[in-house]
Amino acid sequence: MYRLNSRDFINFKADREIKINDYLRERGLSSRFITKSIKLGNIYLNSRKIRKNKKLKLGDIISVRFEDENPNGKVQLMDLDILYEDDDIIAVNKPKNMVTHTAKDDSHGTLLNYMLGYFDKNNIKRKVRFVNRLDRDTSGIVLVAKNSYAQDKLSSQFKDEMVKKYIAICKGHFEEKSGVIDAPIATSEDGIRREVNYAIGKHSKTSYEIIDEYKDMSLLLLTLHTGRTHQIRVHLSHLGHPIIGDELYFEKSDLIHGQALHSYYIKLKKVRCDEFVEIKAKAPSDFNFYKSAFLD
């Protein structure tokens, strides 16, 4: 029975008498998606396909089928470090020196291409939908939604509820061994860099904790409370402690290829229930220029 295939369907149980369209909108599905799904015959009531906006009874089971989709990029194969997977989410540990999404100058060799290869290999007939992205030289956790419903739910979580922690190696020692950087960020005049700007910047908040100090460097655990572009890089540079190897906000380093910034930890709520999932990604081997084999 199709309804039992949780990868292709999401099921809801009616808790009162209400029209199907209204009920599904309350569950976060857009009116456009609902209308299209009914038209295509992708909505089932108690395992039977429907094409009208019927009124639900208490205990009715509404099942919405996700359409098969064509790949949204070139399919390429690569062994990926998959950290977590369920019917709605994949968490992958993105290596450094890899672009997350294809663009005009990066149509292949991106995480999108390799995720499409993973989808193809595992018969997941959907577009790859990224919930977050990392800069080319930042490694760590990237979340992928397997369907549009999951993307909407996770994107909403990512803005407000999701716990996101990074590790970084920075120049110098901090006077305060923990603290909060609450400084608004705006795009600089060159259109590429970001900067702290108290006049026009958007609210940006990062908390930090010093894990270790060695020579003229500090190892930090950082928590993102907002999600501005280059937020951690800008905030640490603003404090006078730029990230080692960050060529945009500091300088190239012979100690590490790229910048010493890694998306280490995410705590999220599953799409279909209130259960929480904690995901960790070990730092790449080139972080070992620092004295510690930290955060196993």
Instruction: Supply the residues annotated as catalytic.
Output: 135
Q: How many CA atoms lie within 13 A of 265 on its CB side?
A: 13
| Residue of 124, 122, 224 whose CA lies nearest to 164 | 224
158 backbone dihedrals φ, ψ, rounded to 5°: -60, -35
| Residue of 110, 90, 91, 92 whose CA lies nearest to 100 | 110
| Parallel, antiparallel or unpaired: strands 82-85 and 48-49 | unpaired
DSSP, collapsed to helix, strand or coil, labels residue 166 as strand
Amino acid at 129: R
Distance CA 146, CA 126 (A): 7
| Residue of 145, 183, 171 whose CA lies nearest to 271 | 145
